[in-house]
Chain A
Amino acid sequence: MAGRESSRYLSRALPRAAAPSIRPQGFLLRRNVSDEAPARRLSDHLTDLESTSSFSTPVAASAASSFDPLARAAARKTKLPRGRYQFRSPKYDRGPLHPHQPPPESHPSSRLFVPGPFSSPRAEQSYESTVAPDIMTLCYVHTPPGFKPPPKAPRLREWDDSSPYHKNRVLRGPRGGDVLRLLRKPIKFNNIPEIERITIHSYVKNAAAENSTWLHVAGIAVQAISNMRVETFKSKSSVATWGIHPGRDTVAVKAELFGENMYHFLGKLVDVVLPRIKDWEGVKGSSGDSSGNITFGLEPESVALFPEIEVNYDMYPPKMIPGCHITLHTSAKTDKDARLLLSAMGLPFYGKIVN
């Protein structure tokens, strides 16, 4: 949503005392030309003001005596309906200009609210107590006082003004490729790499050629191992040999794990599932997108080793358990740092390490 501010017109037009909102209305400072007629002057505004304060006018005695909310509640025979005691979020988001706005997602009354976290996963605890301080110590680079790093060349190269056409031209990318890598800052206490999210993605090629059972099974399997409801995706590219057309066939499921779920999944994966894979050497050292995200794949037989699938393995149709790709997104800026973090979390790497 782009603008979540409520309308400045409607907030003036409608009396809001009847429906108290959770969010405080912003103080509106902006004036518009159309708000005031041009003929009106300052003196006219002054005449609108009352000369006496409202505090000085006496309140009618009947009004004061009749206001007794406690007695009114006691006199009530039946309870009010539940909705009168509880704020309920609107069912629909009707846009930023609607006077009835849903509460923010983090508010418990919001329809999008997800409670939690409820536990402190073992992997998270070991990260906080052991891994993070270790990485900070390992990555410490001592510079003597008064040390100034040599100036680096600019990341985007300028054009030498050999031609008059170089004027106002956009800067050139780095040498040896157009990719501008992420900038790695020295690792300090406030930017220790951590795992941000884990994506479990499964591309089911048979979903297009045969029937949707494959996709349902894949979705349930991924949901079982990840504790998350999956999203489905349509194919973007055409694969003629599998009969997949872009935009027509739903072929993939994905679950994104954050926070508590993510650490539970990581602990389970590292401690229980990966050691049981036959002849598994580890994650390939050349994997990674060179900006700190590492991906590896699991075969269908390996996915079947998860305790959640193993416990009712017979419920899954035979041969339909999918393989999946697991991407570990870290906040590290290079693959080297990401590997350092993940190997400290217990993920082995093998082969040629490419950073």
Chain B
Amino acid sequence: MKSSYCADKIHGAYIIWDNFSACIASTSRLLFLQRLHPPPPRSTSSLCQLTAHTNMSMHTSLRRTAATITTSTTTILPSRLPQSSTTFICSQCRHATLLRRPKRPYTFTQLITLSDGSTFTHRTTSPAPIYRSTRDTRNSVLWNPSSSKLMNVEDDEAGRLAAFRAKFGRSYDSAAPPADENSADAKKEAAEAKAAQAEEDNMLDLISSFGKRAPPPPPEKKNPYKK
């Protein structure tokens, strides 16, 4: 045991303890001394008084612990001891706690329409019955990283933007087309290869599209240089 401040007075009024282990030890010592010098007729009630003293000196509210239960006095028969040691800690609080009813904000059911037309309902504090979103996971690039529709890619099939840039563009603009385009030979070769590829594609298309309807015309492109 640690050397804790222990001041006992057996038949006196005050008992001071520093910590709980000291309390147990001194209680047992007290009982031991009691056995050595049996006081004039004393029963369980006197023991209770003693334990009450201990409680008072601990400066807590009523607290039943193992110390009060591990008692063995001569008045109680040994056969009548049901529990050897039970730790029953009961810290009593005397106030009554108000059981507050939980407050919940009123919620409405709202239909959310996403930008692609899909809908779902959710509970919300907003009173608007329908919420139409213009920007959501269906048309945001972060959620559709592979979607070419959402990418900021310039449509320039006729090559007009490139031609404009080559003529009037600054250095950072005109750097976009490849450097070997200027050489006439490379240009011719590329054109020939392209034509051959196109012819082959045409033939393949003709074969595969036999008996099918004609494909719909391509949508109009937004080209600022086109009327």
Contacts and interface: CB of A to CB of B under 8 A. Distances in A.
Interface in B95-109: 96-105, 107, 109
Contact count band on B: 35 or more
Interface in A317-355: 346, 348
Nearest to A310: B126
A264 B136 contact: no
Interface stretch (A182-190, A196-204, A268-276, A296-304): A268-276
A122 B120 CA distance: 7
Contact of A307 (B77, B99, B110): B110
Contacts of A51: none
B99 A122 contact: no
Interface string B90-125: 111110111111111101011010100000111111
B118 to A, nearest CB: 10
Contact of B99 (A33, A112, A118): A112
B135 A227 contact: no
Nearest to A35: B82
Contacts of B101: 111-112
Contacts of A276: 133, 135-136
A91 B104 contact: no
Q: Is the interface of B mostly helix, strand, loop or mixed?
A: loop
A38 B76 CA distance: 8
Interface in B42-79: 76-77
Interface in A183-228: 223-225, 227-228
B164 interface: no
Contact of B122 (A90, A223, A264): A264
B99 A267 contact: no
Given A227-B125, A264-B124, A311-B126, A38 B99 contact: no
B140 interface: yes
A118 B125 contact: no
Interface string A261-296: 100100110111001100011100000000000000
Contacts of B94: 95
Contacts of A270: 137
A229 interface: yes
A92 interface: yes
B143 interface: yes
Given A227-B123, A272-B136, A275-B136, A91 B98 contact: yes
A99 interface: no
Return the 5 tightest CB-CB contacts between A and B, nearest first: A92-B96, A275-B140, A308-B126, A111-B99, A93-B97
11 contacts: A32-B82, A93-B97, A95-B96, A112-B102, A118-B123, A122-B122, A223-B125, A229-B104, A271-B114, A276-B135, A307-B124
Given A89-B99, A92-B96, A112-B99, 12 more contacts: A32-B82, A33-B80, A38-B77, A114-B104, A119-B109, A224-B105, A224-B125, A225-B125, A264-B123, A271-B136, A280-B142, A346-B143
